[in-house]
A and B are shown apart, each in its own frame.
Chain A
């Protein structure tokens, strides 16, 4: 019942969005009159109508002829629930949204950095955790993303909003290019080749001075929001956002903007990863990680499967890079050393390979803890190393063990059992 109301409300909301400009704004003479009640009434009618039509479709037999089989057929595959309870997810979301209003400027910069590392961790998690391809050069894709924005702006005045998809695409392309030669490699050999690839990208950026500026780096402008700038005075030919809204200037605005944008991207990515795990491609990654020979004999094309993992992971890395460039306002090759790759890999390993929640937790711990322990910053790397050793001793599978959605095919006798499926907690 509630699901149906919810569905009807969503249809109503879409109707409202569409109808508001069409019916709400009426041209009269040379003026536009707004009739805000009209779209509301229409949207309400659509909502209620959708609800009753959907109810009729299910409850009145002869209506099925028009309703199609969707209402009557049972789903072919049952997917067990996995992951944390909705309550925890809501709580985490509330916390994330309230955060900028609680912590100060410094806290915000740490939070943004943590979000970037969450993004990178989740990206590498697709490659290492889900597809089981050990990638030690992930920072290369991060660099590709960052330099796409930096050089794109430098040469062609590319905006942040264009650099975001372009950086992702370019990084994904680099991921595929790297993927091709390493298709035959496994484990250690793959790790070495990816390590080399990461270094190649960094050295090219460092030495191709004519294009990339070499070690001097490239400066980057801060993104604008629909042409509104986050500067005190307009520098990029737009209007400063505080003037537009008539509020006083605060340098916090840009941090809050970047934070929420990143939060949205991370949220979308989490949803995407959850979906991917349930899709056949996610299954294929999992199968490939466990056994390549069996995979191929089952008709899975290992080339597409591996390249998709590399490409998707790299795309996420590229998005992280664009955000990093925007945050720093400046990029140079020294941000993309092997240490970064190792750090991101540490996040994935500490969090538990393949576990989304684990990776998020580990990324937060590994970015927030060093900030809290500034006094001991000389021992930062040492403490990460000790943490790794301790983890390997006590929790070799990471902070949080991977929980995977499990699938159940319905069988003739088991139709009922599938309906009463227990939550898929599968410790591996």
Chain B
């Protein structure tokens, strides 16, 4: 899959290592030299309030906008200077905030768009690659709802189904690392629970997940490890369960005592 990137990484290299990166838009700096790392097979959550820079961090990992300082390593290789589409082709699938499915296309076509990351050039037909049928079956198995709606236009799906579709589309590119930006945004708690349960199943199948969430409670319950982001800096980190019981977190994000 990764012909373009010679993977010379040692097995104990973290999947993703972010080292002291700063990024921003124009005169505003959103991230101030933050570092974190994601290991293989983990679910890592990043929680924080509105405007803390959570989405900016995910976008910066995807080089949109690129980091101003610091470096981002993926499997030991530096990817800080690569373009967004090149990063996507390395096996880092980004599910942007607000789902962003292609409303005019059918569910199946949306999933097929995920194959674009597999082809080295957009004009090559990615659907010719072997194993596409199995990938599609896998996505339908994770989200049976999508199979029911396969020939329906994505714009007609409910919010939860669109979120499933966005995740499924990302999975079609056979990612090693899945970056999820607020998958719970605007979803009913029940649907949200179902999607979070599926995330666990995705990790068990070998994809690592880096999750950005405002819903701290859900995210911390799911995550193996978590980071807390405040005004562009990491203030706390630790295992999800530990943070869940920490008094500071309870006060700031969980609204309880």
Contact (Cβ within 8 A) B122 A406: no
* Cβ–Cβ < 8 Å partners of B125 in chain A: 76-77, 280
- Chain B 107-136 interface mask (CB, 8 Å, partner A; 1/0): 011011110111100111111100011101
Contact (Cβ within 8 A) B153 A287: no
CB < 8 Å neighbour of B104 from A77, A286, A304, A408: A286
* Cβ–Cβ < 8 Å partners of A20 in chain B: none
* Cβ–Cβ < 8 Å partners of A154 in chain B: none
CA separation between A279 and B84, bound complex, in Å? 22
Whether, in the assembled complex, A297 has its beta carbon less than 8 Å from a beta carbon of chain B, the answer is yes
- Chain A 288-330 interface mask (CB, 8 Å, partner B; 1/0): 0011011011111110110000000000000000000000000
Whether, in the assembled complex, B22 has its beta carbon less than 8 Å from a beta carbon of chain A, the answer is no
CB interface residues, A 361-418, toward B, < 8 Å? 404, 406-413
* Cβ–Cβ < 8 Å partners of B94 in chain A: 297
Contact (Cβ within 8 A) B95 A409: no
CA separation between A293 and B59, bound complex, in Å? 10
Q: How far is the CB of B22 from chain A (nearest CB, A)?
A: 22
Contact (Cβ within 8 A) A298 B169: yes
Contact (Cβ within 8 A) B84 A280: no
Do A294 and B133 contact each other (CB < 8 Å), given the known contacts A301-B85, A409-B112?
Answer: no
CA separation between A290 and B103, bound complex, in Å? 7
Contact (Cβ within 8 A) A411 B137: yes
- Chain A 267-298 interface mask (CB, 8 Å, partner B; 1/0): 00000000000011101101100110110111
- Chain B 125-164 interface mask (CB, 8 Å, partner A; 1/0): 1111000111011001000000000010100000000000
Contact (Cβ within 8 A) B104 A428: yes
Q: What band does the interface of chain A fall in when counting residues whose beta carbon is under 8 Å from B? A: 20 to 34
Contact (Cβ within 8 A) A291 B104: no
Contact (Cβ within 8 A) A406 B109: yes
Contact (Cβ within 8 A) A298 B114: yes
Whether, in the assembled complex, A33 has its beta carbon less than 8 Å from a beta carbon of chain B, the answer is no
**Which residue in chain B gives the minimum CB-CB distance to A281?**
B123
* Cβ–Cβ < 8 Å partners of A413 in chain B: 137
Whether, in the assembled complex, B253 has its beta carbon less than 8 Å from a beta carbon of chain A, the answer is no
Contact (Cβ within 8 A) A280 B106: no
* Cβ–Cβ < 8 Å partners of B86 in chain A: 299
CA separation between A283 and B111, bound complex, in Å? 12
CA separation between A428 and B103, bound complex, in Å? 10
CB < 8 Å neighbour of A406 from B106, B128, B173: B106
Do A294 and B84 contact each other (CB < 8 Å), given the known contacts A76-B128, A410-B133?
Answer: no
* Cβ–Cβ < 8 Å partners of B89 in chain A: 299
**A283-B112, A290-B103 are known contacts; what are 17 more A-B pairs with Cβ within 8 Å?**
A283-B113, A284-B122, A290-B104, A291-B102, A293-B64, A297-B96, A298-B169, A299-B116, A299-B117, A299-B173, A406-B105, A406-B109, A408-B108, A409-B132, A411-B140, A412-B137, A426-B106
A-B CB contact pairs (8 Å), 22 listed: A76-B128, A280-B126, A283-B112, A283-B113, A287-B113, A290-B105, A293-B100, A297-B84, A297-B95, A297-B96, A297-B170, A298-B88, A298-B116, A298-B117, A299-B89, A304-B122, A406-B106, A407-B112, A408-B151, A409-B111, A412-B133, A426-B104
